[in-house]
Structure 1
């Protein structure tokens, strides 16, 4: 049986409705409806829309997610029905924060829309992070000091790009990877971001490349911060500022 057939049977049983009642509501015969529950045939799109409206569950959920395992209440729909985020809590009621390890960071780009993949990730709970969906991502490189390899940035899911705040830092999940940057401004085509390490130039992330956005909530370091690394970054930053001043001086002479 398909996910769809399993789901509509499950939803109907939860509603304590008969096959005849559902069939009457969507204007088909009971025999035809039973073929959909038994997986012997698939409904055409116009009928699938009616089924979706009757059960008050969007089509994306009906055909992709096992609703016996993930209830509708535990899922958050993203814009354009592109993906779903399972909302889980532990036995004490604390929000579960999934941890995306470095080795799984590229797999996340393929599995972020798969609740089973997300459910397979390790998780933790932080009692001071409430009222939202949080997820931990690995920091990579030296563009956002003092965060580097061994640091996890915990982000709060951003539902609308209009909620981005100038000067705040965000994790952008894009088709090319996971990036942690400071937000500057946006337009219809994309978001303009920069690194705290001024060695790296600001750039634009195109909206059509963005899957998810997470606002910085806290960080978790798994390694000691090395002072010499910070000093090295500061020295490089000083040279970058000096280079900028030289360019400005040349323009005015």
Structure 2
């Protein structure tokens, strides 16, 4: 049985519709043809998928890939464009836990972020000063956002809507192409957002809205044991080289504008 088959059978039951009524009155197809979709014996063509998606007000992506029986249907319908389903793990007292996405398995997050079993398998912590909202910890990768380096974790608060993004604030963006990235939000238009790294070596760039699957606003950080932000002797040569190249790039830009 496919996820899609389970979903449409579940949704049809929620509406109290028979297979005959749903097939003939809503989809304008035969009951026999529709029953094959519910049993998984046949795949629905795109025109039928569109009709089902519009009728139940649930995106085709969710219909095909997420077992929506595991979530409150009302919460799914409230999500912007059904963009994602956010599994939430709570402790025995009902308090939200902070799941930690491991360094070595960070690439697997892109395929597991909507799977409750994957989320439940992550290690969890609780911080008493992070209570309002849903939080998750992501590994810092690369050198684009000092002082976070490999071994650090960025704790983010879940952002439900693009309209909640604030210029100048830092976020963890989970995207289809780049996976997990930590950047500062700059601006937004109808098709994309512009983000920038704190490391001046990297230029700002655009992320298409349709590539974004999750956004988490920076809330706190977990640093490795040997982290010393004021000890510049610990800066390695790579960091110094990147900063120097960033300064040179800025100088070149100024010279270009003068010309």
Distance 1:166 1:51 in 2: 38
The aligned residue for residue 207 of structure 2 is 207
Residue 74 of structure 1 contacts residue 87 of structure 1 at CA under 8 Å; is this kept in 2? no
C-alpha contact 2:139 2:153 (8 A) present in aligned 1: yes
Contact 2:153–2:222 (8 Å) recurs in 1: yes
Residue 104 of structure 1: CA displacement?
A: 1.1
In structure 1, the partner of 2:6 is 6
Partner of 1:22: 22
Secondary structure of the residue aligned to 1:123 is: strand
Bigger mean CA offset, 94-103 vs 200-209: 200-209
| Partner in structure 2 of residue 191 of structure 1 | 194
* TM-score, normalised via structure 2 length: 0.70
Change (3 A) 1:52 1:171: closer
Check whether the contact 2:185–2:193 (CA below 8 A) recurs between aligned residues.
no
- Correspondence 1:97-108 to 2 at 5 A: 97-108=98-109
- Kindly report the root-mean-square deviation, in angstroms, between the aligned alpha carbons of the 2 structures: 4.0
Structure with larger Rg: 1
CA distance in 2, matches of 1:228, 1:126: 25
Q: How many pairs were matched up? A: 244
Residues 1-253 of structure 1 aligned to structure 2 (within 5 Å): 1-26=1-26, 27-73=28-74, 75=76, 83-112=84-113, 116-141=117-142, 143-174=144-175, 175-185=177-187, 190-195=193-198, 200-208=200-208, 211=212, 212-226=214-228, 229-233=231-235
TM-score (norm 1): 0.71
| Alpha carbons of structure 1 residues 25 and 171: separation in structure 2 relative to 1, 3 Å | same
* Secondary structure of 2:42's aligned partner: coil
* Pairwise CA distance, 1:213: 3.1
Q: Structure 2 stretches of 5 or more lacking a match? A: none
3-state SS of the aligned residue for 1:52? Answer: helix
Contact map agreement 1:25 1:54 (CA 8 A) in 2: no
Counterparts of 1:63 and 1:181 in 2: how far apart (Å)?
Answer: 31
Structure 1 alignment gaps of length 5 or more: none
